[in-house]
Each structure stands twice: as structure tokens, then as C-alpha cells.
């Protein structure tokens, strides 16, 4: 069976900004455009999300929701530098490594059971090394393919590890909201809801021919 890890660095831009300026630790932080301009939120800390702030939101809207937030323009060169350092740490672990974005990595550990043993312990080891060396938090999802691994990495944030063994995919995925599926955005989710489709289980119960004809 395939064993795929997906590492997602938690609030990566914010985490790097906190390394640069430790006074930001524990405070509501928004990376992106300033609230008086026409910029958008590139990233936001968990302290701002409780107020409804989300990535991609206009900065002015974010300010209205969380006026106490600290707005940071961003240190893009540092993001690339830290991303490269994370990649250097990961390269020694899996037989195959794929960087999906500046803060996301897929690792294929298929066939390495005799080398690493318990995959949950391996995930902890990887996250601990990244934290100890770089002070960057992350979450890892483990599954039998990339899609499941990616969904798992977002399931138990921050600094979480979620493992769905082969054969347990249906039980895990069925109750989850449809929007956790990569590629299902704000427009598509409205179309699904309009047709009474709310969960991944709802999607799985629909004939493939239905989606082919409707979408």
C-alpha cells in the first residue's frame, strides 16, 4: 500500500514573522496589505481567526473584524529561505519528496515500514526536528494518496498529526464537509449546497454520471 505524508507548515508567513520579531508571539497578526489600502490578507494567525479573519479577505474587512490585529507587510525573501531550510531537513527522510508550495510538502514513504516502523512516531520526529531547528510549527497528514494526506494535515491543526490507515478512508471522509476537498472553492461549494450536497459522503453516494452531466 502507498503511504503518503503531507506536511503543511502552520500559518507559515506568520510563523516566520514571529521568528524575525518575537514580540509578535501570542498576538493577533495579519500578513498582507495594510487596512487603509486595497490589499488582501496573505496569512493570519489563529488569534485573528476566532474573529472571522481568513486568508484572501480584503485587509479593510479584516481590520473591521479584528481592529486589534498587528498588520505586517511581509518578508517574502525570508519565506523562501525558511522554506528551503525545511526542504533540507525533509530530504533525508523519504525516498521521494515533492514540494507543492512554499509551505507544503508531500513525502512518499511507501515500502519503508521496516526502516521507520511506526509512521505516527516518524511524523512526530519530523515535526520535532523542524521545530527544534527552525522554530516552525507544522501539521502532518498520512494517508494512502495525496488527497487524503492533504485533507488529514488540515484536520487537527495546529501541530497535529492525523493518520488514516488503508481501508478506513470511507469512514473518515464521509462526515467531513465537502469544502475540505482540495479544489472545492467558494463558488463550487454554493453549487453543491444548492443541490443538497454538504458532505464528502453525499458526493460519494452520487453517481459519477450525475457530476459529469451537471458540472
Instruction: Reply yes or no on whether 104 is catalytic.
Output: yes
Please tell me the distance from the alpha carbon of residue 143 to that of residue 164, in angstroms, as a whole number: 5
Catalytic hit among 104, 124, 129, 169: 104
Return phi, psi of residue 31, to 5°.
Answer: -100, 125
Please tell me the distance from the alpha carbon of residue 87 to that of residue 91, in angstroms, as a whole number: 6
The cell for 159 is 501541530
Please tell me the distance from the alpha carbon of residue 20 to that of residue 135, in angstroms, as a whole number: 11
Q: What's the Cα-to-Cα distance from 92 to each of 87, 95, 96, 107, 109, rounded to whole Å? A: 9, 8, 10, 11, 12
Q: Closest Cα to residue 120, out of 86, 56, 165?
A: 165
Residues carrying an active site annotation = 104
Amino acid at each position: 500500500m502507498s503511504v503518503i505524508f503531507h506536511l503543511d507548515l502552520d500559518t507559515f508567513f506568520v510563523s516566520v514573522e514571529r521568528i524575525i520579531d518575537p514580540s509578535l508571539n501570542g498576538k493577533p497578526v495579519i500578513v498582507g496589505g495594510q487596512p487603509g489600502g486595497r490589499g488582501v490578507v496573505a496569512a493570519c494567525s489563529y488569534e485573528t481567526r476566532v474573529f472571522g479573519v481568513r486568508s484572501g479577505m480584503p485587509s479593510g474587512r479584516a481590520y473591521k473584524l479584528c481592529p486589534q490585529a498587528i498588520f505586517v507587510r511581509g518578508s517574502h525573501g525570508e519565506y523562501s529561505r525558511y522554506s528551503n531550510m525545511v526542504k533540507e531537513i525533509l530530504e533525508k527522510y523519504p525516498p521521494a519528496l515533492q514540494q507543492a508550495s512554499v509551505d507544503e510538502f508531500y513525502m512518499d514513504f511507501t515500502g519503508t515500514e521496516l526502516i521507520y516502523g511506526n509512521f505516527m512516531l516518524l511524523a512526530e520526529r519530523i515535526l520535532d526536528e523542524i521545530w527544534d531547528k527552525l522554530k516552525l510549527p507544522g501539521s502532518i497528514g498520512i494517508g494512502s494518496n495525496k488527497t487524503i494526506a492533504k485533507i488529514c494535515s488540515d484536520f487537527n491543526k495546529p501541530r497535529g498529526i492525523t493518520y488514516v490507515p488503508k481501508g478506513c478512508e470511507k469512514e473518515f471522509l464521509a462526515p467531513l464537509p465537502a469544502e475540505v476537498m482540495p479544489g472545492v472553492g467558494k463558488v463550487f461549494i454554493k453549487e453543491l449546497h444548492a443541490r443538497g450536497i454538504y458532505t464528502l459522503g453525499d458526493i460519494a453516494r452520487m453517481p459519477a454520471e450525475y457530476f459529469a452531466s451537471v458540472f
